[in-house]
Structure 1
Amino acid sequence: MNLSSFGMDTITLPGSLEAKLLASKAAGFAQIMLWARDLVAYPGGVDAAAKLVKASGLRVTGIQVMRDYEGLSGTLHEYKIDVAKNMLRICKAVGAPMLMMCSSTSTHASGDIEVIARDLRKLANLAVPLGVNVGYEALSWGRHVNHYLQSWEAVQLADHANLGVVIDSYHILANDAALDDLADIPGSKIAMVQLSDFMWREIRSAEERIETARHLRVFPGEGEHARELAEIVRHLYRAGYDGDYSFEVFNDDYLQMPLDVVAARARRSAKWVTDQVLRKSLGVREPQAAQLARVAEAD
């Protein structure tokens, strides 16, 4: 794990798409997570945006975000399938290897896990010809799937090679979820890890959960959950996850700061994760190292 393991999410940065790409590259990041609206709103449309992204030299880790997709029926299901096909085309155009979707909040969605898994499988099938994977994230306010173990259950049941779970530290922390079960998810079935923190220990209402998620996240190392964040990454490391980490930090204050300042905060956060978390992950080796040091001193 090093700086190349981490990337920015464009939702975290102020400014134009071009400015976000330049700031990420200047801060030393080699990858970026894009939102579809970054591309469709770009002058000249998706094709022009795709050329800009490719010229930046940054590797795209995925496209956000497919919402309220699973568990629907009839014309509403068909509508969402059409939306999904268009988002998959955007992934293909920009070279994104993954389409990220979050669990449904719709009152019209079924909570039947078999139906949810069926719809995930259908989306994964649609993605195969385009060479795109699908990552499924449990929103902490999702109507039926709001815990990472529920998203993992649905992914397991769907049983599709290019479908995996997205682990988002905010939603885990906001749920005050147990962390030990993270180690039971094979690293190969984790599509992406998104990292962020927030500034208080207690979420006092459903409204505060959403408000914090959308406006008040901070980078890892800046918030109140350093110990838990370290534990999350250690569990994933031990489970064999060696993929990408994205800083998905929705923060209205950051959007009023200079781009280079926000990107520098992200780089410090990446260093915090690698210095504080990886070193502890390898702590099992320390007793042997200490023993060798004592032997050397005795000699």
Structure 2
Amino acid sequence: MNLTNFGLDSITLAGPLASKLAACRAAGFSQIMLWARDLVEHPGGLEDAIRLVRQSGLRVTGIQVMRDYEGLDDGLHAYKLDIARHLLRVCKAVGAGILVVGSSTSGHASGELDRIARDLAKLANSAVPLGVRIGYEALSWGRHVRAWEQAWEVVDMAAHANLGVVLDSFHMLAGGDELEGLEDMPSEKIALVQLSDFMWRDLGSLDERIETAGHLRVFPGEGCHSAELSSILRRLDRGGYRGSYSLEVVNDDYLQLPPDIVCGRALMAAKWITDQVLRRSLQVRAYAGRTL
């Protein structure tokens, strides 16, 4: 694991698309997670935004986010599938490897897991010709799928090679997800790992969880859950995950700072993360080499 494994989510940085790209590149990051609105709200238009991304030299980790897609009936399903296919074309245009799909919060969505799995498999199939993978993320306030185990159950049920799980440490920590067994998930079925923390131990209500998620996240190493984050990272490392980590830190304070300052904090977080994994791995290897 090294800096090339890490990218910064554009939602963490203030300013226009060009300044976000430049700050990430100057800090030494090689990839960035973009939100579709970064592109469509660019003053120069979508084509110019795509040109800026391509010229930046940054790899686009993925595009966020398709919401409330799965488990819908008839016209609602057709509408959401059409929107998702447009987003897939945006992914292809900027070379994004993943479209992130958050678990549905809609009151119109079915909770039947086999139906959710079928809908995700259909979208994964649509993404194949475009070279984009679908990553399914459990939101801790999702209506039916709230924990990583449930997301994995659905992805496993869908049995589609182009569909994987997006693990988000905020939602895992905020929802009190069980970490036992995380290392047993096949590493090739993990599409992406998103990392952040927050500054207090408990989130007492759903409203507080949503407020914290949207305004008060902090970088790994800055919050109150360093031990749990370390456990997540080490379990994933033991399980063989060698893919990308995206620092998804949504924080109103950071949006008042120059992007280069925030990128500096992101680099410190990446170093903290690699230390947590590498130090533990070296200890295990040293112990394994002893004569007992």
TM-score with structure 1 setting the length = 0.95
Deviation, 1:218, is 0.1
The answer to whether the Cα contact below 8 Å between 2:36 and 2:65 also exists between their aligned partners in 1 is yes
**Alignment coverage as a number of residue pairs:** 291
Q: CA RMSD in A?
A: 1.1
Counterpart CA distance in 1 for 2:59 and 2:93 is 13
Measure how far apart 1:147 and its partner are. 0.5
**Residue matched to 1:296:** none
Once residues 261 and 193 of structure 1 are traced to their aligned partners in structure 2, the CA distance between those partners, rounded to angstroms, is: 23
What secondary structure is seen at the aligned counterpart in 1 of 2:251?
A: coil
SS at 2:218's partner residue?
Answer: coil
Query: What CA distance in whole angstroms lies between the structure 2 residues aligned with 1:49 and 1:72?
Result: 32
**CA distance, structure 2, for counterparts of residue 279 and residue 120 of structure 1:** 38
User: Which residue in the other structure is 2:137 paired with?
Assistant: 137
Match of 2:249 in 1: 249
CA separation in 1, counterparts of 2:282 and 2:171?
26
Distance 2:154 2:139 in 1: 14
Shift of 1:175: 1.2
5 Å-filtered alignment, 1:1-299, equals 1-287=1-287
Q: 1:12 and 1:112 mapped to 2: Cα distance?
A: 34
Is the 2:234–2:276 Cα contact (8 Å) retained in structure 1? no
**Contact 1:32/1:60 (CA < 8 Å) preserved in 2?**
yes
Q: Please give the alpha-carbon distance, in whole angstroms, between the structure 2 residues aligned to 1:279 and 1:218.
A: 23
Unaligned runs of 5+ in 1: 293-299
The whole-number CA distance in structure 1 between the counterparts of 2:75 and 2:246 is: 35
What is the distance in 2 between the residues matched to 1:161 and 1:216?
35
Deviation for aligned residue 1:278: 2.2
Distance in 1 separating the partners of 2:288 and 2:154: 41
The aligned amino acid for 1:244 is S
Equivalent residue of 1:180, what SS? coil
Output the CA distance in 2 between the equivalents of 1:276 and 1:145.
29
Distance 1:282 1:31 in 2: 27
Deviation digits for residues 118-177 of structure 1 (CA, Å, limit 9, x no counterpart) = 100010011011111000000000000000000000000111011000000000000111
Aligned amino acid, residue 169 of structure 1: S
Q: Is the 8 Å Cα contact of residues 8 and 33 (structure 2) preserved in structure 1? A: yes
Structure 2: give runs of 5+ residues left out of the alignment: none
Matched-pair identity in %: 64
CA contact (8 A) 2:237 2:277 kept: no
CA–CA distance in structure 1, aligned partners of residues 81 and 49 of structure 2:
24
Match of 1:282, SS state, is helix
d(CA) in 2 for partners of 1:287, 1:77: 54
1:180 shift after superposition = 1.6
Deviating above 6 A after TM superposition, structure 1's stretches of 4 or more consecutive aligned residues are: none
Aligned-partner residue type, residue 195 of structure 2: L
Query: Following TM superposition, by how much is the alpha carbon of 1:288 offset from its aligned partner in structure 2, in angstroms?
Result: 5.4
CA displacement, residues 77-123 of structure 1 (integer Å, 9 cap, x when unaligned): 11101100110010011111110110000000000001100100010
8 A contact 2:136–2:164 mirrored in 1: yes
8 Å contact from structure 1 (residues 197, 222) kept in 2: yes
* Distance in structure 2 (CA, Å) of the matches to 1:238 and 1:180: 13
Whole-Å Cα distance in 2 between the matches of residues 287 and 142 of structure 1?
42
Contact 1:46–1:90, Cα closer than 8 Å, also in 2: no
d(CA) in 2 for partners of 1:128, 1:221? 37
3-state DSSP of counterpart to 1:217:
coil
SS at match of 2:127: helix
Report the Cα distance in structure 2 between the residues aligned to 1:287 and 1:181, rounded to whole angstroms.
23
Structure 2 Cα separation of the partners of residues 100 and 175 of structure 1: 19
Distance 1:253 1:8 in 2: 16
CA distance in 2: counterparts of 1:229 and 1:267, whole angstroms? 17
- CA distance in 2 between counterparts of 1:259 and 1:43 reads 19
Structure with bigger gyration radius: 1
Question: Aligned AA for 1:280?
Answer: R
Which secondary structure state, in structure 2, belongs to the residue aligned with residue 179 of structure 1?
coil
Q: Which letter does structure 2 place at the counterpart of 1:243?
A: G
* Counterpart residue identity of residue 67, structure 2: R
Take 2:156 and 2:197, find their aligned partners in 1: how far apart are those partners? 28
